[in-house]
Amino acid sequence: YQKEIFIIGGSSIYEQFLPITDKMYISYLKNDYAGDTYFPNFNKENWEIIERKDFTEFEFVIFQRK
């Protein structure tokens, strides 16, 4: 596709789309919060960080598939 498409969870939706994803925008929270749904683990060796921004309560990272 020529357009950027955003997938906005839940966890099983992320898992289904991860194999065909070429870019990910991920926020990492700096504190621990109770929750029952998380982004699936992925092999970071297959991804390159192309942008990283640090904020007070979270870090925003853009990954591009290698």
Residue ranges making up the domain that contains 58: 11-65
Q: Is 18 inside a domain boundary? A: yes
34 is a domain residue: yes
Q: Is residue 41 part of a domain?
A: yes
Q: pLDDT at position 1, please?
A: 57
What is the per-residue pLDDT for 35? 87
> How far is residue 32's CA from residue 44's CA, in Å, rounded to a whole number?
22
pLDDT of residue 9: 85
Instruction: Tell me, yes or no, whether 6 lies in a domain.
Output: no
In a domain? residue 3? no
State the Cα–Cα distance between residues 30 and 4, nearest whole angstrom: 28
Q: Say what the alpha-carbon torsion angle 11, 19, 29, 62 is, to the nearest 10 degrees.
A: -150
Give the tens place of pLDDT for each residue, 8-25: 888 899 999 999 999 999
* Nearest Cα to Cα of residue 23 among 65, 61, 66: 65
How many domains are contained in the chain? 1
Q: What is the pLDDT of residues 21-58, one digit of tens each?
A: 999 999 999 999 998 888 899 999 999 999 999 999 99
Judge whether residue 3 has pLDDT over 80. yes
